[in-house]
Structure 1
Amino acid sequence: MDLIEIKDHKSTVRHIIHLLHNLFIGFHKSTFFCFFLFLSLFRKCFLPDTVPRTSRRSCNDNYRTIFTQHKDYLKKQVENIRERVLNPDSQKPHGSIDTTLYITEGEYKAVDVEHGVAQVEVRGSEDTQINYNDIFNPLPGQNGPIRAVLTKGAPGIGKTVLVQRFISDWADGKANQDIDVVILLPLRLLNRIKREISLQQLLSQLYPSLQEWVNSVKLEDYQILFIFFALDECNLPLNFEQNRKLSDISQKASVDTLVTSLIMGSLVPNARIWITSRHVASDQIPPEVIDKVTEVRGFTDVQKEEYFKRHISDEGLAERIISHIKASRSIQAMCRLPVFCWIAATVLQQMEFSDEIPTTLTEMFIHFLLIQTTSRHKYQGDNKSAKQDTLEAQKHNILKLAELAFKQLNEGNLMFSHNDLKQCGLDKTEALVYSGLCTATLKGQAAIFGEMYTFVQITIQEFLAALYIFVSYVKEDTEALRPLLMKKSSMQKIPRKHPSLEELLRCAVNSALESKSGHLDLFVRFLHGMAMESNQKVLRVLLACQQDNPRYISNPDCLKRAAQNLKDIKRKDISPDRWINLLYCLVEIHDTTVHQEVQAFMHSETGALKRLKPAHCSALASTLMMAAMPMDEFDLKKYKTSDEGRRRLVPAVRSCKKALLADCRLTAKSCEIVASALKAPRSLLRELDMSHNNMQDSGVKHLSSGLRNSNCKLETLRLSACGITGKGCELLASALTANPAHLKELDLSSNHLKEAQLRTLQSIKENPESALEILR
């Protein structure tokens, strides 16, 4: 019996039940009540929500046609992924150009710095690798369906490919056929809707083929998947607490309210939700609304090699490229990003293997820019002078694209209009055809937005933005630098005249640290890379300066001062993870002293460094988290450093079983990092001592979010003399009630607790389901 016959059969049964209902309508009220109760139970057990849903669909063949049209439309949007290497018009089906991505349930327990370009390797672990079509399947031991899934990953790691493959397989009927309609909602697109709009209107305008269906049915009668793509590109406030909760798809509201209502489940409550995001932006989503977290980790070492062998037809060249990548730890780590593999394959195929082979991120992107620009135009021979002549001819367009990249990045925009192009002196032919770095997008949704544009990958926008600032510095265009120099931070020292290179880099770092989303982190890394003399020589045509002009070629002393500035910055409001990311600016200027000193410190019994500086602590935390084996004990007090240094070491708790953090002057910010360790899948922490730290109730709030998480297996928690009041005690009690099976010992002595809160904790201890044995 096929699906349609099953639906018709259920519809017939439903009509028979209604007939029996009418036959017994004259029965005594009590008899009727008993029968009606039986009838309700029968319908609930044997004819669940599919009854009205399937009957509506089976009665109207137009909807089936509409769904087919919608699938065809989505499929056309995702079935081809352009590899804009030499010919931007060349297309290959996605299955032929990408190897399988490594996807796991839960987050990587080692820190994943925001842009995914740090030296963090994907190592074998206990994490469960899953198929992208199974992300809505419950975890082992998890009861009930999965409604909302959050998928994290670094930029370029493969989140886009993941979504494209999922949609393509669904549209082809290969997987997830219980889903009736998939609605893709790129958040960079939703940013541009400023007026109030209803969900009904939004769907009708974004997907005109669905308009008749949206306006004729109850969406709750269908299984819908809303994909909120790229949360990190969202400029909406996402005010989950204060936004009203919509329940009517025809009710107009701000786009922010529509998004939060859908994610929270008040609007179309039975819909599935899939959110993709960079790590740093994912905290905007309340954890209680997410049923499952997955992470895209890109390529393993084996998959990296497979990628290059499949993309480079010359086997000998492929092997040489793979050997070069293995020889550079930095490039090898970056190649876990599929987008970087694409860039590396593009660059290394075009270069002769010599001492000039790129070894840093900036070097790789500079050569990628040259290849993308010069290879799009015919010239005789393959000599450097011909390429430089071609680059000179395209200089205007490249610099205008760079201006566009910075202005849009500085405003948090990753999508721009034709008017934005015109303001930078570009038309769409120059932007799209000449460079190969920018592409038109959303053509099918022109009715609501008009034609929109975006860079082929966000990392390219960040690189070009850095190029614009560096060229403006060389030209002494202080006005162009003003948006970077005039940030609000009290730490910012605005130069009165044209800044020195050292001052420019310091201002850029401060600007990046002000950003909560981390959208300038990689921009700053590229900007440091451009301070290298070798990179300036390659870019001399764009920089409009002579190779032998010492005014614009940074000298070693300048780079030493820039490196020292990175090591000496002191700001208490910055996450330790951000500091770890910032340290990779040192890689771009070939300064390895911090990591060398840390390695010496770890391998010396007496300690080569008598006192660790904050920069050393950031590097040490990164090293400890990347260790092959987790630490049995991490004692923060044994490291001789400042209070700031200790705060930067806290992320190492993610890779230890016992964390001794007592009396280290930690704050609520540190508690947030510890909570992330408690939430991590297969969390290692079993004993945690944070006594005698002035964390107060705000810190307890973070810890409680970790304690209530089902991944938390903490057995001992000591919070003596932490300034906790009754409010903090209530938060802890709530967390222990939600997750009572693991914590055996809790020390809350020397805090400001009242009798009522103590009785609450005592009642939790006496609960048979609670593991709590010792309560102080």
Structure 2
Amino acid sequence: ETTSKMETLHDTPIRCQDIFKPLPGQDTHIRVVVTQGVAGIGKTFSVQKFTLDWAEGLENQHVSLVVLLSFRELNLIKDERYSLLQLLRVFHPTLQTVTAEKLAVCEVVFIFDGLDESRFLLDFQNNEVVSDVTQTSSVDVLLTNLIKGNLLPSALLWITSRPAAANQIPPTCVDRVTEVRGFTDLQKEEYFRRRSSDEELCSRIISHIKASRSLHIMCHIPVFCWITATVLEHMLATDQRGELPKSLTDMYSHFLHDRSQQELMETDREVLLKLGRLAFEHLEKGNLMFYQEDLEECGLDVTEASVYSGVCTEIFKTECVLFQRKVYCFVHLSIQEFLAAVYIFHCYTNGDMETLETFLGKDDNGQSLDAFLKRVMSKSLKSNNGHLDLFVRFLHGLSLESNQRLLGGLLVQTESRAEDIQRAIKNLKEINPDQFSPFSVSPDRSINIFHCLMEMNDLSVHQDIQEFLKDYVSRLAWERLGVPPEELAEVSGEREVWVSLLRLLPPNMIYSFSRMSRCWFSLSSCVSLASALKSNPHLTELDLSENKLQDSGVKLLSAGLESPNCRLKTLRSDLGGGFMATTKNVLLFSNMISSFFRLRFCRLSESSCASLAWALKSNPHLTELDLSHNNLQDSGVKLLSAGLESLNCRLETLRLTECQVTDEGCASLASALKSNPHLTELDLSENKLQDPGVKLLSDLVESPNCRLKTLSFIGWSQVVAVLE
């Protein structure tokens, strides 16, 4: 949803050729870059552009060697053992003469494309350490050691992934995160106008897309623009009667119908349903790439699939990779999700109880259409990463007879009674997402309920959303949200609705400050808050007091802080008292000059420090950090110290009162502060310090690069040490 706000964001754009170069004003070595983006957005194209420009002598000529390794090919040797040197020679035979000595001294860029397609378990905690390029190990061990810098530490690494899979890599191993966002609104129009010289046709297509919010949002993905253009051009050019598709299900039903035509659907119905089974079973597993054994498990022999993909190359395609082995995939994840929905709906209409019970579990309440859809929605709401969101939207859309008619060769029409559809709509409107999980359901899952209603052509959904917003936002003085950015919204006691609002409000409804105290935020709430921090450059202060964020929540929030879009200067989360307890409906906030991050009494441990260290390395706006009264211990302080050593860190005040720090933690801090010219105040009160640790820090006054002025040790011999 955030893509509709692209033009309001104050991002720092970066060319793919400059992926390893520091931004202006930065002096940080960038070794590992992770580039995220949804399926089909252009990640692989960016990688290819980087490689081509290097090979043609146009860019990055200081690089001696670029090694491109796709996970779809690495999967083929998942169970084999190689040294790094052997691995390079297997994938790139022209490197047979490269020796370990040459590899150690030349500038090498490794590009690992498609982490989301990986079938490796990357265990960064327990994998053995490998530091020799001639040492043999499993491929996953080589990968983790390359990423951690144990193996060939001078090499640069670029990893691409869909967002759902990017968290396999610990934040402490990553120096830069970028995002490919696809087409802007202007680029969408440019795409359609370049496809055809018929100006009138282009204008009609663009007008239709703008009239449908769902279609307009999806068109930031280049592949979806192609699907949309293919369908609309065909319909408009052939003067087909009836309305143009407005929903996603309608669009994809037309696309599949136009690619295959009715006659082909009848003759090759069996093959299409096998492809649907393949799509469904691997959607459940999170797989986008398929191998020969995957096809055979679904009853597709390789010859049959190859012949069929030759007929419908716009739906299913074959690629030759390592050792001339073939891999298969749908041209886009959304097509896999659509065919998966078609397959499951086919199973429902044909009474395939075995498949349905495997997917949904046994149920004795009957199999009416509305009950079936309700059970699938229940399952989708339990998903942590939303892998069933689009699938369940398509499934609700397929319940309409109009879409079933388009797919007549694949689906038995259910003759859905109006009362069945109305019951399904009623079920969607009555869903309480929290009943499906012991934890709060992500707002994205809740928002998907509205999308499902729109797929069912429920015309009341827009009015319901307006009433929903009006009911809740009246507490925010709704009429004042459109006035200058200094207006503040204060909320307390509501949970997911406020997280959703932060992400969905249009640019003219800008928050400078949002209070979300006592909202019992969960892990899923932090996912959405992090997304809001990445996409809303106007939010500068956020109060999360009295919320049990814990380590996992802080890790997610740190990812939001790392975003160049984030302009948050003050974040409060204090379980230790009544900080900012006064309640007002609307507050005015101006002249904010602090850059303050308070996470006191938040049940944090050392694992939070890894994420916070990453934020320190990448967020130059943060100047004050208060982590008092958390069980960080020496190991956590050591991780924080790594963030303090970053040239990008501008922290001036660090408070670590009662964090279980000993002399070992003091040693880590002392080492970091010798080269930190910004930190002026350090509070280590109520910790387990002895004379050696205190002396290490006190002696920092002699270091020429240290600017420490105030050093507090209350609780250590009951004194405060002040360095002037």
Aligned to 1:128: 12
Q: Which runs of 5 or more structure 1 residues have no equivalent in the other structure?
A: 1-116, 375-387, 487-493
The corresponding residue for 2:64 is: 180
CA distance in 2, matches of 1:523, 1:428: 23
2:418 pairs with 1:544:
no
Q: Offset at 1:577?
A: 6.0
Instruction: Compute the displacement of 1:565 (Å).
Output: 2.6
Amino acid of the structure 1 residue aligned with 2:233:
Q
What is the Cα deviation at residue 600 of structure 1?
Answer: 2.0
Summarize the Cα distance change of 1:418–1:675 in structure 2 as closer, same or farther, 3 Å threshold: closer
Structure 1 CA distance, aligned partners of 2:312 and 2:413?
22
Give yes or no for the alignment of 1:320 onto 2:207.
Answer: no
Decide whether aligned partners of structure 1 residues 638 and 414 sit closer, same or farther in structure 2, where only a CA change above 3 A counts: closer
Answer yes or no: is the 8 Å Cα contact 1:689–1:717 preserved in 2: no
TM-superposed CA distance for 1:568, in Å, is: 5.0
Q: Taking structure 1 as the reference length, what is the TM-score of the superposition? A: 0.72
Q: 1:661 aligns with which of 530, 538, 544?
A: 544
* Amino acid paired to 1:676: A
Deviations 1:541-590 (A, max 9, x none): 321236x3549x94111222034336454535467465466454444344
Residue of structure 1 equivalent to 2:308: 431
Q: SS of the residue aligned with 1:183?
A: strand
Deviation at 1:372, TM superposition (A): 1.6
Q: Kindly tell me: are residues 163 and 764 of structure 1, through their superposed partners in 2, closer, same or farther at Cα, counting changes over 3 Å?
A: farther
Cα distance change, pair 354–174 in 1 and its aligned pair in 2 (3 A) = farther
Question: Superposition pairs for residues 183-222 of structure 1, below 5 Å?
Answer: 183-193=67-77, 194-208=79-93, 210=94, 212-214=96-98, 218-222=102-106
State the one-letter code of the partner of 1:463: F
Whether 1:226 aligns to 2:78 is no
**Mapping of 1:549-588 within 5 angstroms?**
550=417, 554-565=420-431, 567-569=433-435, 571=437, 573=439, 576=442, 578-579=444-445, 582-583=448-449, 584-588=451-455
Deviations 1:707-760 (A, max 9, x none): 53331523455667x664646973686377446633547485899984336997
Identify which of 733, 741, 751 aligns with 2:650.
741
| Aligned residue type for 1:428 | A
The answer to whether the 8 A contact 1:598-1:616 is kept is no
Contact 1:697 1:727 in 2 (8 A): no
Of 366, 384, 397, which aligns to 1:529?
397
For the 8 Å contact 1:224–1:271, the answer to whether it is kept is yes
Question: Does the CA-based 8 Å contact 1:746-1:772 persist in structure 2?
Answer: no
1:237 maps to which of 110, 116, 121: 121
2:603 to 696, 720, 744: 696
Instruction: Write the distance in 1 (CA, Å) between the matches of 2:611 and 2:176.
Output: 20
Structure 2 residues not aligned, in runs of 5+: 480-490, 577-600, 662-684, 715-724
* Residues 659/119 of structure 1: CA separation in 2 closer, same or farther (3 Å cut): same
CA deviation vs aligned residue, 1:215-234 (integer Å, no higher than 9, x gap): 69732243332211111222
Q: Deviations over 1:351-402 (max 9, x none)?
A: 248763222222222221112212xxxxxxxxxxxxx344323322221211
Matching of residue 408 in structure 1 with residue 282 in structure 2: yes
- Give 1:420's aligned residue: 294
SS at 2:80 equivalent: coil
2: CA distance between counterparts of 1:732 and 1:211? 38
Q: Does 1:356 align with 2:243?
A: yes
Which residue of 1 is the match for residue 266 of structure 2?
392
2:402 & 2:690 partners in 1: Cα distance?
66
Task: Tell me if the contact between 2:633 and 2:660 (Cα under 8 Å) persists in the aligned partners.
Answer: no
Specify the code of the residue in structure 2 equivalent to 1:697.
L
Shift in Å, 1:338: 0.9
Residue 514 of structure 2 aligns to a residue whose secondary structure is strand
Secondary structure, aligned partner of 1:228: strand
Cα deviation per residue 1:142-189 (whole Å; 9 max; x = unaligned)?
336533222111222111221222223333333333333332211133
Counterpart position of 2:687:
755
Q: Distance in 1 between matches of 2:171 and 2:127?
A: 17
CA distance 1:499–1:128, change in 2 (3 Å): same
Deviation at 1:495, TM superposition (A): 1.4
Partner Cα distance (2:292, 2:636) in 1: 55
Contact 2:400 2:416 in 1 (8 A): no
How far did residue 309 of structure 1 move? 0.8
What pairs up with 1:342-741 in 2 under 5 angstroms? Answer: 342-352=226-236, 356-374=243-261, 388-426=262-300, 427-447=304-324, 450-486=325-361, 494-496=362-364, 499-509=367-377, 511-512=379-380, 518-545=386-413, 548=415, 550=417, 554-565=420-431, 567-569=433-435, 571=437, 573=439, 576=442, 578-579=444-445, 582-583=448-449, 584-589=451-456, 590=458, 591-592=461-462, 595-601=465-471, 604=474, 616-624=497-505, 627=507, 631-637=511-517, 650-651=529-530, 652=532, 655=536, 656-681=539-564, 683-692=566-575, 695-698=602-605, 700-701=608-609, 704-705=612-613, 707-717=615-625, 724=631, 726=633, 730=637, 734=641, 737-738=644-645, 741=650
Deviation at 1:634, TM superposition (A): 1.0
Task: Give distance in 1, aligned partners of 2:603 and 2:434.
Answer: 29
Q: Which has the larger radius of gyration?
A: 1
Report SS of the residue matched to 1:756.
coil
TM-score by length of 2: 0.76
Distance across 2 between alignment mates of 1:659 and 1:691: 12
- The residue identity in structure 2 corresponding to 1:339 is V
Q: Does the 8 Å CA contact 2:440/2:524 hold for their aligned counterparts?
A: no
Distance 1:729 1:149, change over 3 A: closer
Out of 709-718 and 268-277, give the one that drifted further. Answer: 709-718
Q: Is this contact kept in 2: 1:730–1:757, CA < 8 A? A: no
Deviations 1:428-454 (A, max 9, x none): 34431233245554425235xx22222
SS at match of 2:357: helix
Contact 1:567-1:615 at 8 Å conserved across structures: no
Indicate yes or no: 2:80 matched with 1:142.
Answer: no
Give the direction of change, closer, same or farther, for the CA distance of 1:431–1:178 in structure 2 (3 Å limit): farther
Q: Which moved more, 1:187-196 or 1:214-223?
A: 214-223
What SS does structure 1 have at the residue aligned with 2:163? coil
Secondary structure of the residue aligned to 1:709 is: helix
Contact preservation (8 Å) 2:659, 2:687:
no
Distance 2:612 2:698 in 1: 15
SS of the residue corresponding to residue 636 of structure 1 reads strand
Following the alignment from structure 1 to structure 2, what is the Cα–Cα distance between the partners of residues 132 and 642? Answer: 37
CA offset digits 1:83-111 (Å, max 9, x no partner): xxxxxxxxxxxxxxxxxxxxxxxxxxxxx
2: CA distance, partners of 1:124 / 1:771: 41
User: Residues of 2 paired with 1:280 and 1:252: CA distance?
Assistant: 31
- Partner in structure 2 of residue 256 of structure 1: 140
Output the CA distance in 1 between the equivalents of 2:698 and 2:356. Answer: 59
**Residues 601 and 608 of structure 1 are in contact (CA less than 8 Å); yes or no, is this contact kept in structure 2?**
no
Q: What is the CA-CA distance between 1:692 and the residue it aligns to? A: 0.9
Q: Which residue of 2 aligns with 1:75?
A: none
CA RMSD after TM alignment: 3.9
1:246-276 CA distance string (max 9 Å, x none)? 2333332111111112222333333221111
Q: Name the aligned partner's letter for residue 246 of structure 2.
A: T
Q: Distance in 2 between matches of 1:362 and 1:503?
A: 20
Q: Alpha-carbon deviation of 1:472?
A: 0.8
**Rounded Cα–Cα distance in structure 2 between residues aligned with 1:751 and 1:464:** 55
SS at match of 2:517: helix
Shift of 1:515: 5.2
